[in-house]
Amino acid sequence: MAGLASGTSVFQVSGEFSLKIEPGEPLAGHDVSFTLSGLAPWEEVRVEFINPLGQPAQWVTEEDVLVVGAGGVPVSEHFLFADGQGKAKWTRLGALDQEGLWSADITINGETSSITYSVSQLQLDLQDTQTVGVEMRVYAGSASDTFYFSLVPAALAVDLQAHLAWVVGQHSQDLGLQSRQIPDIYLAGNDGLLRQVAQATGTTIGFEDGYYGSSGTRPGIYMRTDFYQTGVRSILTHEYTHLVLQEAAQDEQLPAWVTEGIARAATPAEFADRQT
């Protein structure tokens, strides 16, 4: 597997300003940090991102909230102020950002500069593909496999394997529970694709964003991924909790209020805003 992007890139902005982008080679599915230097203390800066289609990208807060204005109109521009050392910092939450050429339009004192940077896919080793309702690539993790649709960034497949390993360890430590084996993960890009996958595996779902299957030819955790990181990790954590509870009950049907209550309590607060 190719290494994850690292390092920084530094660009000169109009005048004496410089912009540091980290990582220097951003990956689809990952956040990108920006630091603008050379400003006067507390100076105002306007920032707007332009996506590879040439369209303004809606601003996302660091709490995974899409910013909207009056009447629910998406807001793409963001105003911020330099600190006492003349630096302004912000982050582009890239969980749903597509690969391609992006630009950050930066306005200082009425003058706008456009800084272009490239977002690329994480390059994994040659992968097998399998059809589970839709064609999925297979990432062989250290403990289990992740099957993911082409709309899902490869970096997310790697990230969620690491997150699942963390969840397994936490549940073993805090609850004394661990699944019989580490489940495979199936990542669909959106609700429609998740339903196709569910149908192919003989599962009927309602409004769930994820579910687990403990039997059949493809046991594992199935989930959609068109959310930001907090939401996606919350779904994975929540479904793994359901899985270990059901196994602990020796596959007897538990009341929903029991499994939902424990699953919510077992999900860390930072992932608790999106559960099924």
Of the ranges 2-11, 77-86, 130-139, which one carries the lowest mean pLDDT score? 2-11
The verdict on 133 and 258 lying in the same domain is yes
Checking if the pLDDT of 208 tops 50, the result is: yes
Residue 209 lies in a domain: yes
Question: Which residues span the domain enclosing 94?
Answer: 9-119
Find out whether 7 and 128 touch, Cβ atoms under 8 Å: no
Question: In whole angstroms, what is the distance from residue 241 CA to residue 128 CA?
Answer: 29
Please tell me the predicted confidence (pLDDT) of residue 185: 97
Of the ranges 88-102, 202-216, 243-257, which one carries the lowest mean pLDDT score? 243-257
The verdict on 133 and 252 lying in the same domain is yes
Please tell me the predicted confidence (pLDDT) of residue 142: 81
The verdict on 111 and 139 lying in the same domain is no
The verdict on 37 and 102 lying in the same domain is yes
The verdict on 69 and 133 lying in the same domain is no
For the chain, what is the mean pLDDT? Answer: 88
Please tell me the predicted confidence (pLDDT) of residue 251: 63
Amino acid at 163: H
The verdict on 144 and 254 lying in the same domain is yes
CATH number at residue 202: 3.40.30.160
Please tell me the predicted confidence (pLDDT) of residue 2: 39
For 90-129, what is each residue's pLDDT tens digit? 999 999 999 999 999 999 999 999 999 999 999 988 678 9
**Averaged pLDDT for residues 15-26:** 93
Please tell me the predicted confidence (pLDDT) of residue 181: 86
The string of DSSP codes covering 102-128 is: EEEEEEETTEEEEEEEEEB---PSP--
Question: In whole angstroms, what is the distance from residue 91 CA to residue 102 CA?
Answer: 14
Select the more confidently predicted residue: 121 or 213: 121
Of the ranges 7-11, 132-136, 182-186, 268-272, which one carries the lowest mean pLDDT score? 268-272
Please tell me the predicted confidence (pLDDT) of residue 240: 92
Please tell me the predicted confidence (pLDDT) of residue 271: 46
Checking if the pLDDT of 265 tops 90, the result is: no
CATH number at residue 35: 2.60.40.1930
Question: In whole angstroms, what is the distance from residue 8 CA to residue 96 CA?
Answer: 22
The verdict on 156 and 176 lying in the same domain is yes
Instruction: Name the band, by pLDDT with cuts 50, 70 and 90, for residue 268.
Output: low
